[in-house]
Amino acid sequence: MAKENRCSFCGRGQNEVNILITGIDAFICGDCTHKASDIVAETERLAPPQKKYKIFKKDIPAPKEIKKFLDQYVIGQDDAKRYLSVLVYNHYKRLSQSTADEVEIEKSNIIMVGATGTGKTLLAKTIARLLKVPFAIVDATVLTEAGYVGEDIESILTRLLQVADYDVNRAECGIVFIDEIDKIARKSDNPSITRDVSGEGVQQGLLKLLEGSVVNVPPQGGRKHPEQKLVAVDTKNILFICGGAFDGIEKRISQRMNMQVVGYTAIQKTAHIDRTNLLQYIQPQDLKSFGLIPEIIGRLPILTYLNPLDRETLRKILSEPKNSIIKQYKKSFEMDGIALTIDDDVLDYIVDKAIEYRLGARGLRSIAEDIMIDAMYEYPSSKDKSLHIDMDYARTKLEKSRSSFLAAG
């Protein structure tokens, strides 16, 4: 006689219940299924609500305090630092605002334009040290439309969730810095038979994030874990800071300003234009002509620029900030018990070469590495406890590095 299947929970046989659901090694009847559903619902109802993340007014640093902190690590760029300081301060105030207030403060996303090596990413990383809210830095160059090779738009919020330890309430009050925003500019104004999946397509996808909407986010990233449960994140209170080099936009600014030159008095006005730093005259229409769509420009209402780095600024960057390149080298050698000293004319030499190579502040690191690489290789194994870098040593090492590079090329 065949053994009768029975419910693994209540023990009733198959003939005693309306329905018996079969599992791998067990069974459950319809009545037990309903009871289990009621137990789960009651447990969720009685569970304590998730604590809402809250910022208090007394904990908010004033804009001047934020800028003072930035001044310790970033040389120059006072205009950009002022904009960022006010922006972050207002973001904190929005988080501390009572929900009962009739007037709701809206967020103002910002876009920073500046040549490579002028400090856009450094500003973002530095301000992240000060903040009490989650701060994520993402790269726009890897983003594509959904369904194409690359990262989905939602991966921006995945990174923010990870920084917030998957606390959705904290993530919804965070700040996101989108770097290389210029790399998703529209490739051409002419229609094409192929989709612009990493340009205009990405810009269209970013609209809902920047404006504020509920987005279903894969917490582990969408491509590698398609089976994971999605997390709903409201972007209404997430502040977005965008940065990009916009290489060549000065030409568009110049064309726009020249179009306005009509008559003798207009020519006199253009005489006061600083042609060495056209970025200070940037307008939203210049971003549109570069390839950003009007909708995304409207969602980034604050536009600021970073000044090109002159010789004096580069010299200060090399040695003055808390985490300056020279202080980093001295600390590194100090950890090996070696005292490092560098002549001032060597620092001037590094700055001159950085200007020659036109790499901005990043060029300082590259040139310093070429000069220091042999010493960093040899001294940790030697008995010498001091290292002095003079002009002859620096010039010899840099010329050797560059000549070997040319020979290899």
Q: Where are the domains of the chain?
A: 14-46, 57-244, 311-408
What pLDDT sits at residue 197? 66
- 387 or 60, which is more confident? 387
Quote the pTM value. 0.73
Which pLDDT score is estimated for 222? 58
Give the range among 118-122, 148-152, 275-279 with minimum mean pLDDT: 148-152
Residue 59: is its pLDDT beyond 80? no
Q: Does domain 57-244 have CATH number 3.40.50.300?
A: yes
What is the pLDDT at residue 407?
Answer: 43
CB atoms within 10 A of CB 62: 12
pLDDT tops 60 at residue 80: yes
Among 179-193, 298-312, 323-337, where is mean pLDDT lowest? 179-193
pLDDT for the residue numbered 405: 44
The whole-number pLDDT of residue 333 equals 94
pLDDT at 408: 43
When pLDDT is averaged across residues 17-32 and rounded to a whole number, the result is 87
Q: Does residue 194 carry a pLDDT above 70?
A: no
> What is the mean predicted confidence (pLDDT) over 175-180?
90
pLDDT confidence band for 349 (50 / 70 / 90): very high
Angle (CA) 179-183-184 rounded to 5° is: 100
Tracing tokens 């929970």 back to the chain, one arrives at: 9
Query: Which tops the pLDDT comparison, 72 or 194?
Result: 72
Q: Which helix (H) or strand (E) holds 96?
A: helix 78-96
Longest dimension (CA), the chain: 110
72-76, 129-133, 355-359: range with highest mean pLDDT: 72-76
Those residues whose C-beta lies under 8 Å from the C-beta of residue 398, and which sit 6 or more positions away, are: 353, 367, 370, 371
311-408: CATH topology: Helicase, Ruva Protein; domain 3 (1.10.8)
Taking residues 189-218, report their average pLDDT: 77
Q: Which tens digits make up the pLDDT trace of 245-283? A: 898 898 888 888 875 545 555 555 555 777 778 888 899
pLDDT at residue 309, as a whole number: 86
Higher pLDDT, 243 or 220: 243
pLDDT value of residue 17: 87
Residue 58 tokens, joined: 């007394």
Q: Would the pLDDT of 379 be above 60? A: yes
Q: Where are the alpha helices (DSSP H) in 150-199?
A: 155-163, 168-171
Cβ density class 229-255: b for 16+ within 10 Å, e for less: eebebebebbbbbbbbbbeebbebbee
